[in-house]
Amino acid sequence: MKLIIAIIKPFKLDEVKAALSTSGVDGMTVTEVNGFGRQKGHTEVYRGSEYTVDFVPKAKLEIAVPDAVVAKVVDVIIKAAKTDKIGDGKIFVLPLEEVIRIRTGETGESAI
Amino acid sequence: MKLIIAIIKPFKLDEVKAALSTSGVDGMTVTEVNGFGRQKGHTEVYRGSEYTVDFVPKAKLEIAVPDAVVAKVVDVIIKAAKTDKIGDGKIFVLPLEEVIRIRTGETGESAI
Amino acid sequence: MKLIIAIIKPFKLDEVKAALSTSGVDGMTVTEVNGFGRQKGHTEVYRGSEYTVDFVPKAKLEIAVPDAVVAKVVDVIIKAAKTDKIGDGKIFVLPLEEVIRIRTGETGESAI
Amino acid sequence: MWVLVTAFLVFFMQAGFMFLEAGFARERETVNVLLEGIVDTCLCGILFYAWGFAWMFGHGNGLIGWGDAAGHSWYCLQNLPDTYESTGVATLAFFLFQFAFADTCSTITSGAMLGRTGFWGDLWYSIGVSGFLYPIFGHWAWGPDGWLNSIPFWKAAPFHDFAGSTVVHTIGGMIALAGAIVLGPRLGRKFKRDGGGPMPYHNMTIASVGAVILWFGWYGFNPGSTLSAMDIAGVARVAANTTLAACAGGLGALIFVYPRSKKWDCGATVNGLLAGLVAITCPCYWVSPLGAIILGAVAGVIVILATDLLEYLRIDDPCGAWPVHGACGIWGTLSLGLFATGQFGAPTPTGADNSAGAVVKGLFYGGGTDQLVAQFIGNAAIGIGVFAVAMVLMYAVKATGTLRVAKEIEIEGLDLHEHGGTAYPDTRSSTH
Amino acid sequence: MWVLVTAFLVFFMQAGFMFLEAGFARERETVNVLLEGIVDTCLCGILFYAWGFAWMFGHGNGLIGWGDAAGHSWYCLQNLPDTYESTGVATLAFFLFQFAFADTCSTITSGAMLGRTGFWGDLWYSIGVSGFLYPIFGHWAWGPDGWLNSIPFWKAAPFHDFAGSTVVHTIGGMIALAGAIVLGPRLGRKFKRDGGGPMPYHNMTIASVGAVILWFGWYGFNPGSTLSAMDIAGVARVAANTTLAACAGGLGALIFVYPRSKKWDCGATVNGLLAGLVAITCPCYWVSPLGAIILGAVAGVIVILATDLLEYLRIDDPCGAWPVHGACGIWGTLSLGLFATGQFGAPTPTGADNSAGAVVKGLFYGGGTDQLVAQFIGNAAIGIGVFAVAMVLMYAVKATGTLRVAKEIEIEGLDLHEHGGTAYPDTRSSTH
Amino acid sequence: MWVLVTAFLVFFMQAGFMFLEAGFARERETVNVLLEGIVDTCLCGILFYAWGFAWMFGHGNGLIGWGDAAGHSWYCLQNLPDTYESTGVATLAFFLFQFAFADTCSTITSGAMLGRTGFWGDLWYSIGVSGFLYPIFGHWAWGPDGWLNSIPFWKAAPFHDFAGSTVVHTIGGMIALAGAIVLGPRLGRKFKRDGGGPMPYHNMTIASVGAVILWFGWYGFNPGSTLSAMDIAGVARVAANTTLAACAGGLGALIFVYPRSKKWDCGATVNGLLAGLVAITCPCYWVSPLGAIILGAVAGVIVILATDLLEYLRIDDPCGAWPVHGACGIWGTLSLGLFATGQFGAPTPTGADNSAGAVVKGLFYGGGTDQLVAQFIGNAAIGIGVFAVAMVLMYAVKATGTLRVAKEIEIEGLDLHEHGGTAYPDTRSSTH
Ligand SMILES: Nc1ncnc2c1ncn2[C@@H]1O[C@H](COP(=O)(O)OP(=O)(O)O)[C@@H](O)[C@H]1O
Ligand SMILES: Nc1ncnc2c1ncn2[C@@H]1O[C@H](COP(=O)(O)OP(=O)(O)O)[C@@H](O)[C@H]1O
Ligand SMILES: Nc1ncnc2c1ncn2[C@@H]1O[C@H](COP(=O)(O)OP(=O)(O)O)[C@@H](O)[C@H]1O
């Protein structure tokens, strides 16, 4: 199993979620994060003066998946999250040794 | 070493923390997250109209542990977090290659 | 590749970010988290009564890096984040199997 | 002095509107809502100074005014008499009181249009509302020569609108409706019959307190409209009726929506009490406490049904400006024709003129339908007229391309793109 | 008109209470607190209309009133005279002023009971408070035939309560105490001797500003209680004393808690200034500025000690309703017996009645203990009486099963379960 | 009574200041800002009672007062006459009104010093401001024997400051400037020429609504300064001018900054409307509506330029206290010398004294430069004097080591270290 971590633009969250859902991925965990990267922050103004905010709000998705579907899930995320502008985000794939469902105690792929 | 990630119901946090603490786990990192899964969101009402909120607030615990105690810690979490209702959450176990304590530079299990 | 997770004191974030940036690390993802550990929480007062808050606000950094620079990055973080007081935080190193840049589809180290 | 104190209270309603509308907005457009509240006020002040006051309260003809009876224009507050007409009120105090009313009308509109209107668009339509629509249509009912002003155009019953259920609220509500229609719903807003529902508000705390501030301000709105504190009994009656209608409106909405969802709905109650206040604004001088309670409770139900109607019609009005001000402004105006007790006539500086022909009597008190018809004609004339012109205004602004912002701007939020920053930029992770 | 303006100010205290109580609440019950503030007001308005005003301010017997001296009932505000008694104030204005007082009393109660009371339970006890307890016990002190009303039942000194340290605040505070006792503490609330402490508040910003709004509203509460603006010197004295007592109360609490924790405690200061205001409410007409400062500072200390006492007794009062309104209401009532200067007598529409027998003189000014004893008897009679009845009321509501919500509801929060949504639903991750 | 009602409104400005300053602060120092607002008020009340009122409004010499003309001291409000001087206003009412002014002055200062000042330091300098600087310098212009008070020291034109552009705002603003200079900028604050910019505010919602509350309170500030409601025309003129200047100030700042960043800047507009209000405070009685609009719009531009100046000088004034109150206080005082129409003279209880010598005429209305020079001398004397003494005061507090907190405290936030808790401690993850 793998843990897929995807950093995406927050306003793409709904689309990504919908796309995953139609591809059979039902569960995920989402966190509000701040990203630093090539996409530079933006300038804000305040009483006539400008200042720079150098982080960019992003949404982080964590999705546990069986090995077999990793490639597909990554594809689905890319398609739904892409805007072709800098800052579209990244996908990280980590090895996942075990998954346990708290309610039932099931483990492994059936617990996902 | 392993990194245990547990997604639990937020109001169970205190109990889980207490249970872990009596089992010798002193450190952990907690994040507010939104979960999507089988537990469906709920309906909210607003000026007489209803709308659906499809995420569920969850707490995410990250706990670095020596290999030897993984099973025990998972057990403790399950016991404390269980309500037997859908949405009790999941536990993920990830391989953890190295831990370093910033203050002392210690590494490995003694840094946990 | 590795995923470096660093838990640091929030007010050290700017320094760590600056230090990483001068060491060639440009991207990272930051999350607000609450830490539990040896550094005990603090006492708050409210209308003449005291109560204890047992978590400590921390910043969590996630940084994907090529294997070659792991040691250096860890060093840079330690130097910048250290205050020599309990609660300076921890660094976790996790194996990272794949990285994909959503915008371009690049994979591997060039996607970092 | 009574007029000044109550003018201050009416002005303070802006704080209530800003809280209410910002609270009902999403976080991403909060600064936009706040700034609109402030800028609408500033614009309205300058326009009402320049020509709005003259057009609305000056002598002229039945459709528009401009100055004193001798023909000197009042533009830029020139040539003003010391006191306004026969009221005995210093003209500048009367100006201030009426500016605060005009400001209210203009702010109502923005509640229905928030989240997607560009700031240039907001400036244009606000100039239209404060500078043209409100003073001209307002003149019809309240101008010294306005064609609806105390002229018994339907049998013996002249149209009456004590403090503006028609003039302020129906006008504001109908413009709001036009704006919401021409703009279309916010991106992502799905309606009930499409499986959706309202978008989340961002702060119920300030929304509720904003409503209480508005209630407080209404004690300027209605009691102040006697213009004189010497009509002691009249002012007290107005204040008590205003209170009871608000209470009944809040309870009416609370109880009416409870069976639906088995939830005690705070947003509904807030709009219910405002509905009661809007409804009592017209009849407050002429009805009994019992009448105030009944018509307020009915308003609390109407505001919910009107919200349902907009949902059905797929019109996105984020604050419920039309249900509260439009629908209940109409109801309040008509309700005079039902509930006027026949005890009181037109207000004068020292009390009601209770002479035989002057008393106002509604259907339920044996007055027949005359007053009701008069109310209907007056309200319909202004409501339909202003809606039609507002549609033209909104389409005109749309034609300039400034009415609605681009998709990306709307999704990421007006605050970031139009105002250069969000309402709450100092979050823990960004600055510690 | 003075009565109306001050009635508006007292009404505006609702915004202050909503801010204060919501700010001191946890986030999960914010909507509940806000809606209670609004619905208590709405209910109170209708009940005070229906019978509350008649019972409290009508003629009748020493325990309850109902109408005019000739026996016509005032229920539903019928048969009212144009002006109330000898005050010269329009009766409907007096009604509004007194409604705002009643509303205050009812809102005080909910501050001690928040976070765990079901909404049905809230409705039942609110009806009890606004509809029964307040008007009946209030009649004892302020009704025209109330047995405590200016009857010199202890030697020559009649009980005096200028603006309600006893009538509004002791009553409200004692009911709050009964409610907190019958409910028990919120789940998870541990007390000092069990190694715990208060639960976190969710917004100190609105709590503090709420307190300042209350202070502002108190300028209606106390100065308005002269009922007449013609007693110029009296009104000014009341307003100045009110201010100085609040200042001293805030500083008193701030300084008294500083040595404990070496922290400048904002919550304590907020409750300290409110304590000063509650205390000066009874004696404000009869004491000197110096007296106001001293009794206010003492109130600032009392409120902290009373908070400690509740902590010791394991009673969970999230807003400190009993320390502020109960304890300091008692202190304020008694303080008249200590600090009354002997210069001023009973207020009349045009100034103090300073005739020999009428002046009020306290122990510290050589007046002996007569006034103190009178104050004690009056306050104890009402305070103990209302506490006993309130315990019965709360147990009765408990018996219906609606007083306290189920464990899960309390833990996840009243807002989600009783009101269908939280106060701040639009967070970044949910909607962007 | 007019004085009392307007005193209440001025007092209510504290709620506005607390919202404004807390909103413009970072989250970590919010409680500190709120508590300062409350404690400054409490301290100011006690000090104004003890000696402030006597020093400022007592007879004495040109530099300081102390009591009545016969030499009885007014310390602790003793020996007060029933009514103040020839105003006909109850002295205690006048005291309350003037306390509210003093309080405003003291609160202005803290806006420039927030985020880094220790609470002990705040107490010391607040005592200096409310207890010494404000009453003494204020006496110069408003004391019965003040050397600037209506003495024609420059040809025939006496210095005039109707409601305090100099006395309240220039004094407050100049002390704020001294405080910001002596403190130095907050840690991490970089300035424009060093590639930085302002630090983030934490809540624009309350900041904007705070500004509207201040605007509302200004209707006490300016119209109340007639002291009498019998000067009906004067009060109405003052109120209308106040409104128009605020409108013009808001629009002036909005439009002036738009070309820079192509953003509609809410913070700038908020400070712009406050700038307009500060500027009109001195001349409001003597200028025309058109004059009010022009001088308000100019204030809206000045406030931005003054902000730029501070940025250039690397002075960190988080709320813009000096640009708003200092710079525009000066401009407002001078503007009388330009815009006074020559129609009105000194206010008396029943209206303007329009006798030949008394009317005030500015440069643009053919009055020559006499009034302008008088205004300049008066404002410069007070402004420079107070700035010099304030620098000494701030350095003195600095010498005690209490002015600025330690580095760690500042970085982690004043709330946690000085006040034992943050403003919003109940977050989801901590308590659910
Ligand atoms: N090395 C990294 N480690 C962790 N997260 C990263 C890293 N680089 C980028 N990110 C995350 O990805 C987001 C997008 O990266 P960015 O460089 O701005 O553009 P792009 O996605 O087009 O490469 C960043 O905001 C950050 O959250
Ligand atoms: N595949 C997944 N990857 C990551 N997180 C998941 C996944 N599936 C579920 N979760 C998390 O676990 C929570 C609980 O899952 P859910 O399916 O609702 O019920 P249960 O825990 O009973 O299986 C979700 O809210 C989500 O945060
Ligand atoms: N076993 C652990 N797993 C995950 N996070 C931990 C663990 N132990 C500590 N932490 C995180 O590191 C932070 C610092 O740890 P702490 O024990 O307080 O001090 P130190 O860093 O000096 O060892 C904690 O607040 C927590 O966020």
CB D168 within 8 A of CB D104: yes
Q: How far apart (Å, rounded) are the C-alpha atoms in residues D345 and D355?
A: 7
For the CA atoms of E374, E378, E383, E388, the dihedral, rounded to the nearest 10 degrees, stands at 120
**Residue recorded with tokens 């200047």:** F245
CB F282 within 8 A of CB F160: yes
* Amino acid F429: pLDDT: 42
Report the alpha-carbon angle F106-F110-F116, nearest 5: 150
Q: How many CB atoms lie within 10 A of CB D398?
A: 16
For residue B23, the SS3 value is: coil
Q: Which residues contact F83 (CB under 8 A, 6 or more apart)?
A: F89, F90, F91
pLDDT 10s digits, C45-88: 888 888 888 888 899 999 999 999 999 999 999 999 999 999 99
Residue E6 parent element (H or E):
helix E2-24
How long, in residues, is chain D? 432
Q: Distance (Å) from the C-alpha of residue B88 to the closest C-alpha of chain F?
A: 15
The C-alpha R_g of chain A, in whole angstroms, comes to 17
Q: What is the mean pLDDT of chain D?
A: 94
* Amino acid E36: pLDDT: 97
Alpha carbon of C29 to ligand 1 centroid (Å): 7
The two structure tokens encoding residue E364 = 């510290």
Residue E339 has pLDDT above 80, yes or no: yes
CB F425 within 8 A of CB C43: no
The arithmetic mean of pLDDT across residues A93-107, rounded, is: 96
Under the banding of pLDDT at 50, 70 and 90, the label for residue D243 is very high
pLDDT 10s digits, D396-412: 999 999 999 999 899 98
Residue D45 has pLDDT above 60, yes or no: yes
Residues of C within 8 A of B28 (CB-CB) are 35-37
Residue D263 has pLDDT above 60, yes or no: yes
Assess C97–A contact: CB distance below 8 Å, yes or no: yes
Lowest mean pLDDT of C15-24, D81-90, D284-293, E151-160, name the range: E151-160
The arithmetic mean of pLDDT across residues B59-79, rounded, is: 97
Residues of E within 8 A of D417 (CB-CB) are none
Residue A43 has pLDDT above 90, yes or no: no
Ligand 3 pocket, B110 CB below 6 A?
no
Lowest mean pLDDT of A51-60, B55-64, D261-270, D329-338, name the range: A51-60
Q: Distance (Å) from the C-alpha of residue D411 to the closest C-alpha of chain A?
A: 7
Under the banding of pLDDT at 50, 70 and 90, the label for residue E220 is very high
Residue F424 has pLDDT above 50, yes or no: yes
Interchain pair F427, B32: CB under 8 A: yes
Q: What is the mean pLDDT of chain B?
A: 93
E vs F, Cβ pairs < 8 A, gives 156
Best CA proximity match to D261, nearest among E418, F307, E18: E418
Under the banding of pLDDT at 50, 70 and 90, the label for residue B53 is confident
Backbone φ, ψ for residue D51 (5° rounding): -145, -15
For residue E196, the SS3 value is: coil
pLDDT 10s digits, D152-209: 766 778 899 999 999 999 999 999 999 999 999 999 999 999 988 999 999 999 999 9
Report the alpha-carbon angle E381-E387-E392, nearest 5: 130
Q: Are strands F83-84 and F65-67 parallel, antiparallel or unpaired?
A: unpaired
Between residues C85 and D229, which one has the greater pLDDT? C85
Residues of A within 8 A of B16 (CB-CB) are none
Report the alpha-carbon angle F294-F300-F304, nearest 5: 145
pLDDT 10s digits, E192-206: 999 889 999 999 999
Best CA proximity match to F182, nearest among F419, F392, F375, F365: F392
For residue A4, the SS3 value is: strand
Residue F120 has pLDDT above 90, yes or no: yes
The two structure tokens encoding residue D184 = 């279309």
pTM assigned to the model: 0.96
* Amino acid E427: pLDDT: 67
* Amino acid D407: pLDDT: 94
Residue D150 has pLDDT above 80, yes or no: no
Instruction: Tell me which residue has its CA closest to atom 19 in ligand 1.
Output: A87
Assess C105–E contact: CB distance below 8 Å, yes or no: no
Interchain pair C50, E197: CB under 8 A: yes
**Residue recorded with tokens 């245990």:** B4
Please give the C-alpha separations between residue E78 and each of D249, D288, D302, D364, in angstroms, as whole numbers. Answer: 22, 10, 28, 18
Assess A109–B contact: CB distance below 8 Å, yes or no: no
Backbone φ, ψ for residue F201 (5° rounding): -80, 170
Q: How far apart (Å, rounded) are the C-alpha atoms in residues D365 and D344?
A: 12
Backbone φ, ψ for residue D185 (5° rounding): -70, 160
Best CA proximity match to F36, nearest among F125, F98, F137: F125
Superfamily of domain E2-419 in CATH is Ammonium transporter AmtB like domains (1.10.3430.10)
Among F411, F421, F425, whose Cβ lies nearest the Cβ of C11?
Answer: F411
The arithmetic mean of pLDDT across residues F119-131, rounded, is: 97
Q: How far apart (Å, rounded) are the C-alpha atoms in residues A8 and D325?
A: 42
Instruction: Give the ligand 2 atom nearest the CA of B33.
Output: 27
Instruction: Give the ligand 2 atom nearest the CA of A104.
Output: 22
Residue A43 parent element (H or E):
strand A42-46
Under the banding of pLDDT at 50, 70 and 90, the label for residue E431 is very low
Q: How far apart (Å, rounded) are the C-alpha atoms in residues F386 and F106?
A: 13
For the CA atoms of E324, E325, E326, E331, the dihedral, rounded to the nearest 10 degrees, stands at 80
Q: How far apart (Å, rounded) are the C-alpha atoms in residues D98 and D141?
A: 14
* Amino acid E227: pLDDT: 81
Q: How far apart (Å, rounded) are the C-alpha atoms in residues D225 and E7?
A: 17
pLDDT 10s digits, E221-273: 999 988 877 788 999 999 999 999 999 999 999 999 999 999 999 999 999 99
Residue D429 has pLDDT above 50, yes or no: no
Q: Are strands C28-36 and C90-95 parallel, antiparallel or unpaired?
A: unpaired
List chains touching C (3+ CB pairs under 8 A). Answer: A, B, D, E, F
> What's the count of helices (H) and strands (E) in chain D, helices before strands?
17, 4
Best CA proximity match to F400, nearest among F132, F178, F118: F118
Under the banding of pLDDT at 50, 70 and 90, the label for residue C41 is confident
Best CA proximity match to B24, nearest among B71, B72, B67: B72
Residue E432 has pLDDT above 70, yes or no: no
* Amino acid D153: pLDDT: 67
The arithmetic mean of pLDDT across residues F237-245, rounded, is: 98
Assess B57–F contact: CB distance below 8 Å, yes or no: yes
Residue D341 has pLDDT above 80, yes or no: yes
Residue F157 has pLDDT above 90, yes or no: no
Backbone φ, ψ for residue D285 (5° rounding): -80, -25
The arithmetic mean of pLDDT across residues F182-201, rounded, is: 94
Please classify residue A84 by burial: count the beta carbons closer than 10 Å to its beta carbon, then call 0-12 exposed, 13-18 middle and 19+ buried.
exposed
Under the banding of pLDDT at 50, 70 and 90, the label for residue C100 is very high
Interchain pair B57, F427: CB under 8 A: no
Under the banding of pLDDT at 50, 70 and 90, the label for residue C18 is very high
Please give the C-alpha separations between residue E211 and each of E38, E268, F29, F219, in angstroms, as whole numbers. Answer: 18, 12, 19, 22
* Amino acid D427: pLDDT: 67
DSSP one-letter code for B47: T
Sorted by where each begins, the domain ranges of chain D are 2-419
The two structure tokens encoding residue D179 = 């704006």
Helix, strand, coil percentages, rounded to 5, for chain F: 65, 5, 30
Under the banding of pLDDT at 50, 70 and 90, the label for residue D356 is confident
Under the banding of pLDDT at 50, 70 and 90, the label for residue E430 is very low
Under the banding of pLDDT at 50, 70 and 90, the label for residue D141 is very high
DSSP string of E16-73? HHHHHHHHHS-GGGHHHHHHHHHHHHHHHHHHIIIIIHHHHHSEE-SS-EEE-TTS-B
